Structure 1
Amino acid sequence: MSLVGPRPAPTLLLQHVPESKQGKNRMHLDLDFGTTDLVPEVNRLEQLGATRLSEELSEHGFRWIVVADPEGNEFCVFDPPHSSDTAR
């Protein structure tokens, strides 16, 4: 499976391996889907099998929600700071 965002964003290729997750993730992904409304995007991911692990969090203008894939690998769906943000 590959995830392709708006250009010039890089393409991310995910490969399935037969081994199950062993301990902590070796890599943590923060994914920006290009939307400021994180909840509908996380809802869409939940319909695909993800599990929401947090409510919306924020720090230094970044907002994110932590989710996990069906095997428990955690990642964040995030919205970066915008130049018009003043008091996030």
Structure 2
Amino acid sequence: MRLQQIVVDCRDPARLVRFWAALLGGEPVDRAFGWSHVEPHGWPRLSVQPVPEAKAVKNRLHLDVEVDDIEAGAARCAALGGSTVGEVVTDESGSFQVVLDPEGNEFCLVIPARRPSTAPGRT
């Protein structure tokens, strides 16, 4: 099995795909029946499909987007129409900031914890 694409429900796919294309790279593509998608380099296709209802509850699945600088990433998201939720959290896995895309879907900007490098021949 192979992950072919990630699909996000939203009310305005053409607008939302442009947020994700600007954030992750790739060209937004508007398709038939109101769908849109982007194929960022190194990611599966991210498709957005139209639904009539607004988002009402917390996502049960979310994306983690690795960044070099969480504050700079959050500022970029805000400039594109996103917003942050709460503060940056740091634990043994690294640091993350919850962000909402323009339709309110949660995702995280993450900086993984640095793993100590292992010398060749050691485990």
User: Shared fold (TM-score greater than 0.5)?
Assistant: yes
In structure 1, runs of 5+ residues without a counterpart are: none
Query: Identity over aligned residues, as a percent?
Result: 30
* Match in the other structure for 2:103: 71
Higher relative contact order (CA 8 A, sep 6+): 1
Q: Which 4+ runs in 1 deviate beyond 2 A?
A: 1-5, 9-12
Shift in alpha-carbon separation, 1:12–1:55, aligned structure 2, 3 A:
farther
Question: In the aligned structure 1, how far is the partner of 2:77 from the partner of 2:51?
Answer: 22
- Give the structure with the larger helix fraction: 2
RMSD: 2.2
Give the TM-score, by structure 1 length: 0.72
In structure 2, runs of 5+ residues without a counterpart are: 1-16, 18-37, 117-123
Give the TM-score, by structure 2 length: 0.54
Between Structure 1 and Structure 2, how many residues are aligned? 80
* Match in the other structure for 1:4: 40
* Match in the other structure for 1:18: 51
- Give the structure with the larger strand fraction: 2
